Amino acid sequence: MNLENQTALITGSSGGIGEDFAVAFAKRKANLVLVARREDKLAQLRTRLLESHPGLIIDIITADLSVPGSAAELASKVTSLGRRIDILINNAGVGLHGDFVTQGVAENSAQIQLNCVTLVELTGLFLPAMTKAGRGLVINVASTAAFQPTPSMAVYGATKAFVLSFTEALWQETKSTGVRVFALCPGATETEFFARTGEEFLTSGRQTSAQVVDTAM
């Protein structure tokens, strides 16, 4: 797939897998819309990428995608920038670690909103234009947790099972449209993910985010 002059929107692009996706697409001369909560991290990444690839158009948008309605707000900002999204990387996600009964209802609701609802909404907002154009790419980042129940991360595993099932169905639906859709299911990866769960586990054998992205590409 020729990515030159295509525009890729990458959520959760301030670090880890999202950041390495940005690096990979920039190397292939794709323009970028980088989305995350941390504006400083996005700005640093944009500066670094433009130093290596000065001909690219790179926009940054700060957004908390765990908030209801954030997908529509993000799409509106993309439209106001005059960008047409050819590639959608739904990478933003969060996981909570611990027994379900010890976790807050609001926190789990936000986890489902980010991992599932916003992902579906962004796909619904950008996929139709891709199918109409007869080309495009959607990568939904799931997890190896999608393939079995995950005690101590019960809701997280369920959200990733949802992402996998949803994406496999879209793959079938879009086979004849010219749009490529697939789910990326990494195992334990050396990113900020584990720190954000509030626990340290699976501390040995983690792959790098660059390895994950290399596999996807």
Where are the extended beta strands (E) located within 104-173?
A: 136-141
Catalytic residue among 25, 156, 193, 194: 156
Decide the pairing of beta strands 31-36 and 7-11: parallel
Specify the length of the chain in residues.
217
How far, in Å, CA of 134 to CA of 141, rounded? 23
Give me 28's structure tokens. Answer: 């292939």
**Residue 42 in tokens:** 């996005």
Can you tell me the distance from the alpha carbon of 24 to that of 207, in angstroms, rounded to the nearest whole number? 17
How far from each other are the two terminal CA atoms of the chain, in whole angstroms? 10
- Backbone dihedral angles phi then psi of residue 74, each to the nearest 5 degrees: -65, -45
Residue 65 among the catalytic residues: no
For strands 136-141 and 31-36, give the pairing.
unpaired
CA distance 59 to 84: 12
Of the candidates 135, 143, 76, the one whose C-alpha atom is nearest the C-alpha of residue 115 is: 143
Positions marked catalytic? 156
